[in-house]
A and B are shown apart, each in its own frame.
Chain A
Amino acid sequence: MSTSNEPVMEVDYSELIPNNVDLNSDRALRRALERWQPNYIDWWKEMGPEGFQDSDVYLRTAVGVDKAGWAKFGYVKMPGYRWGILLAPKEEGRVIAFGKHKGEPVWQEVPGEYRAMLRRLAVIQGDTEPASVEQQRYLGQTAPSLYDMRNLFQVNVEEGRHLWAMVYLLQKYFGRDGREEAEELLQRRSGNADKPRILGAFNEKTPDWLSFFMFTNFTDRDGKMQLESLAQSGFDPLSRTCRFMLMEEAFHMFVGESGVARTIERTCQKMNEAGIQDPHDTEAIRALGVIDLPTIQRKTNFHISVTRDLFGAEVSTNAANSFNAGLKGRFQETRIEDDHRLENDTYQVLRFRDSRFVEEDVPALSAINARLLDDYIRDCQGGINRWNKVVGKAGIDFNIQQPHKAFNRRIGEFANIHVSVDGKLMDEPAWEGAKHEWLPTDEDLKFLVGLMHSVTTPGEYASWIAQPKVGIDKKTGDFEYVRI
């Protein structure tokens, strides 16, 4: 057979990349993506899950935004995952819901005056996505079960897809600058001193699975709040992108919340079996191969406090500007009953003034971040209440709590003070002397890392975690979620 008749092999990007943005007809965008995609795959292979790139993982791939396209399950090798560009369906006649442009039709192109602000929003959001994949890249090696391993990888590929979502916006709407930013998203590295990721919490380590569950519950929940606020945007493509991302983010919340709940469930069960009533009898509890509740409380304190820093300064002109411009709204903006312009409103913000905490009425526009942080704290509390139900059901006397808003903060109103978990002001030496009671100690972290070991027999779970109530895609208990 003559080879001259064979067509030149071309990657069919519209086939390779599930999309509902008519990728085929946008040549400029296709060219940009064709240049970016191989670099993305290189990044994934270098910084994605270590050691499992050739495993068959039972993953969900979104190939459409409707109910039929949403949940396509099947075995996939991660580098071959079909990362798509999917936007929630366009709402005809949608108008801007807040800020000074309230009531005007939403923008389908970037308004020139807001170009820099929007680009910044997309870059900051985009940077967190690959960062968390990098943070979690070694966790596959100590997965407590194939079910958990699969969930980790699902979270990872979806964070990858979220990067794609932001890169799509950058490449489609921000020209050359956008393309350069898209490249840089692949250049920065979590925890790297020379080229760190933009936000602090995304340079922390995720060395063990409790950290992973805490991270997905608390830090991905910040992602949820940010996406929800961006989903309100007057820039319609950003809004539609974020609305679809939120559906995936919900799974990450689930992995975190249920992961910690299953950890607590197993701890309580083992304590009851061993007849241990005192949750602070750390040594005896750890000897059972489970994680004591005070350690879970300290991990909660840590993850929640570093995540609160991600909301930025409570009182912020930047946040006021992006709200006023109609670029980033409040959490569930359309459900709030006010004028959505906030020019004459105030919002009560906890501040530190003259050596004490005061609730201060601040112009509502400047307090956008403070309000989002309050919404976040409320959202966290729902999950914590459900954890406490697990503890209560087992008859153990322990209550997991959120630390004071000012506890362990590096950014915002309380960056320069030291405060106990219940909000008592302390000086530096007192803080240094007491912080081990509230934040995970080196010994805690060593214990956690020591406890982690890989369980890869289908249907079996590590000693420290209970099995889930239902399988993924309704699979039965011994389903082989990952073929290593």
Chain B
Amino acid sequence: MPNLVRQHLIDPEICIRCETCAEMCQQDAISYDGVNVVVDFSVCTYSMDCIAPCPTGAIDNWIMVEKPHSIEDQFRWEELPSGSGGEKGSNEIEEALEGEVSDMLKAAHAGAGGETRRPGTSSQPCVNLYSRSAPVVAQVQGNYRITDPNAESDVRHIILDLGTNALPVLEGQSLGVVPPGKDDRGRKHHMRLYSLCSPRDGERPNHNNIAFTVKRVEEQRNGAVFKGIASNYMCDLGKGDQVELTGPYGSTFLMPDNPEANIIMVCTGTGSAPFRAMTERRRRTMPLAPGKLLLFFGARTPGELPYFGPLMKLPDRLIQRELVFSREPGKPKEYVQDRIRACAHPVVTLLASDLTYVYVCGLKGMEQGVEQSLADVCSGNGLDWARLRDTMRGEGRLHIETY
């Protein structure tokens, strides 16, 4: 594998040479020779300050190259070089700049069975504003256990205050956490991604804060207790502690912004985080939207279902809840896929509409069962899931994020 770097370029066929980008760039990486406006690879820090203010969209071009193009080269261009460096000159926002993050996201999205797109009406996501080397620092405002005190699993709702730092996020996006310190071999810890469970305008509207849903990983492995480094670090945070975050990441698992869109959400455990964010977004901005929200949420018992209380308080007008329990005493085991089959009628009615979006989030193990149940309800009702799935994925209407 050649050693590729990602270079930021401006499309000279679209750019109108207004130099707004140069004005915005704090690094002075952008220059204009009277012909082309270009980015100096050696100076650009991927701050993304220039992206949003560009009036034309010419600014948002990225290319993988072995050797970056010099500004002198770029001054001479009449159009962008195509496919040089062995990879596409992509117009899509890359999901993430850092290799470890894109690998994680790739694995998490593999279940969709192909390249996904974001919903056509979703808002433009910002990604990669902060990195390992230049993280944003947030302060813990609160850390609350949201599973029953006697429940086995310890799931926590952690609220972080961003102070005056700008961190524009959308529902469905993740942030990275690198636990401080080194492992026993002296290496830095791996980064862990956590989905936001708060909507774009903050855990509390217009307060610059965000929230995560984190489950403490503590399980038997090979006869010993394994403790997840990042999750235990997060779950043990106290009020006032500082946390370094990277991101945001993710540019496809986003919600549609049109009020007519129906959203089917399927999750278990902390997979509920993005759906809490999406539901809250709907509740805050368009509680009377004609589009339906349908949530299938699985846990072992009501006491272990994160946000059980607040979820029950949501108006029926806003959301149809299908809460499913696999270990409720005295009741037969039920999994989300069982409930999807039981709800065949509403599910199929929604799937038949091209305004319907399906999101699945949770453990890898649930993926297959959920797919099978969707295939089953389809085949019993004149729909072909295999085909529908490809169509929906191609239209940005099917999103799977499992880990």
Contact = CB atoms under 8 A, between A and B. Distances in A.
Interface of A: 66-68, 70-71, 73-75, 224, 246-247, 250-251, 253-254, 257-258, 382-383, 389, 469-476, 478-479
B257 A389 contact: no
B84 interface: no
Nearest to B18: A250
A132 to B, nearest CB: 17
A227 B252 CA distance: 39
Contact of A250 (B11, B16, B91, B257): B16
B20 A250 contact: yes
B52 A251 contact: no
Given A247-B53, A475-B120, A479-B121, A470 B16 contact: no
A254 B18 contact: yes
Interface of B: 11, 13-14, 16-18, 20, 23-24, 34, 48-49, 51-53, 55-58, 60, 78, 91, 93, 120-121, 123-124, 126, 166-168, 257-258
Contact of A67 (B51, B58, B93): B51
Nearest to A389: B78
Contact of A70 (B14, B18, B52): B52
B178 to A, nearest CB: 23
Given A71-B52, A246-B23, A474-B91, 14 more contacts: A67-B49, A70-B52, A70-B53, A74-B123, A246-B20, A247-B20, A250-B16, A250-B55, A254-B55, A469-B14, A470-B14, A470-B58, A470-B91, A479-B121
A362 to B, nearest CB: 26
A75 B257 CA distance: 9
B166 A66 contact: yes
B342 to A, nearest CB: 35
A469 B52 contact: no
Contact of B52 (A67, A75, A224, A383): A67
A243 to B, nearest CB: 8
A470 B123 contact: no
A63 to B, nearest CB: 10
Given A469-B13, A469-B14, A470-B14, A251 B55 contact: yes
3 A-B pairs closest in CB distance = A251-B55, A250-B18, A71-B52
Contacts of A383: 16
A67 B24 contact: yes
Contact of B166 (A68, A71, A74): A68
Contact of A470 (B34, B48, B57): B57
B120 A474 contact: no
Contacts of A71: 52-53, 124
A258 B123 contact: no
A253 B91 CA distance: 22
Contacts of B24: 67
Contacts of A473: 123-124
B56 A68 contact: no
A471 B16 CA distance: 15
B168 A68 contact: yes
Nearest to B259: A75
Contacts of A74: 123, 257
A257 B16 contact: yes
Nearest to B200: A72
B57 A474 contact: yes
A479 B120 contact: yes
B82 to A, nearest CB: 14
24 contacts: A67-B24, A68-B52, A70-B53, A71-B52, A74-B123, A75-B257, A247-B23, A250-B18, A254-B16, A254-B18, A257-B16, A258-B14, A258-B56, A382-B17, A382-B34, A383-B16, A469-B11, A469-B14, A470-B57, A471-B57, A472-B57, A473-B123, A474-B93, A479-B121
Contacts of B121: 479
Nearest to B20: A250
A254 B56 contact: yes
Nearest to B165: A68
A291 B23 CA distance: 36
Contacts of B11: 469
A249 B18 CA distance: 9
Contacts of A257: 16
Nearest to B121: A479
Contacts of A472: 57
B124 A73 contact: yes
B117 to A, nearest CB: 8
- Give the one of A67, A253, A472, A478 with max B CB within 10 A: A67
A253 B14 CA distance: 12
- Give the one of A71, A75, A382, A472 with max B CB within 10 A: A71
A475 B168 CA distance: 19
A258 B13 contact: no
A475 B120 CA distance: 6
Contacts of B78: 389
Contacts of B167: 68
B75 to A, nearest CB: 14
A250 B55 CA distance: 6
A67 B16 contact: no
